[in-house]
């Protein structure tokens, strides 16, 4: 999840509130991170990774999650 002392945060952006992004970590906790700590184009639903000096969006995993969840949703959804 994260290394003591170093940085390794990986999670999904649940939403933005004011100057914060709320990130759902892999251990299901939701934390506040200042938007400034994320790539500028980060948006709701993105899987983000913050690692030492790096910070990026995992585009593939974001897409994978989106497709998987939309599939389950469509099966249950009666429009």
Partner 1 sequence: MMKFIKATKMKLLVLILLIVFLFGCTGVDVSNQNVSNNSYSLLKVHFLDVGQADSILIQFPNGETALIDGGNREDGRFVVEYIEKMGISRINYIIATHPHEDHIGGLPEVIKSFDIGKVYMPNKTSNTRIFKNLLEEIKNKGLKIIQAKGGLSIIDTEDLKFTIIAPNSEKYDETNEYSIVNKLIYKNTSFIFTGDAEKDSEEEMIKLGYNLKADVLKVGHHGGRTSTNYEFLKRVNPKFAVISVGKDNDYGHPHKEVLKRLDKMGIKVFRTDELGTIIATSDGYKINFNKEIVKNNDDATKNERDKKIIYIGNKKTKVYHTTTCKSLPKQENRVIFNSKEEAEKAGYRPHKNCIE
Interface residues with partner 1 (CB under 8 A) are 2, 4-7, 9, 12, 14-15, 17-18, 20, 22, 24, 28-34, 37, 44-47, 50, 53, 62, 65-66, 68-70, 72-73, 75-79
CB of 41 to partner 1, least distance (A): 15
Q: Quick one: which H or E segment has residue 67?
A: helix 59-76
CA 50 to chain centre: 10
- The rounded distance, in Å, linking the Cα atoms of 23 and 1 is 13
Q: Which is nearer to partner 1, 41 or 75 (CB)?
A: 75
């Amino acid at each position: 999840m994260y290394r003591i002392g170093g940085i390794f945060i990986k999670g999904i952006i649940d939403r933005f509130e004011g100057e914060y992004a709320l990130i759902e970590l892999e251990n299901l906790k939701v934390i506040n991170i200042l938007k400034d700590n994320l790539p500028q184009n980060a948006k709701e639903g993105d899987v983000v990774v913050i690692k030492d000096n790096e910070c990026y969006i995992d585009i593939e995993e974001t897409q994978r999650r989106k497709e998987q969840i939309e599939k389950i949703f469509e099966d249950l959804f009666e429009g």
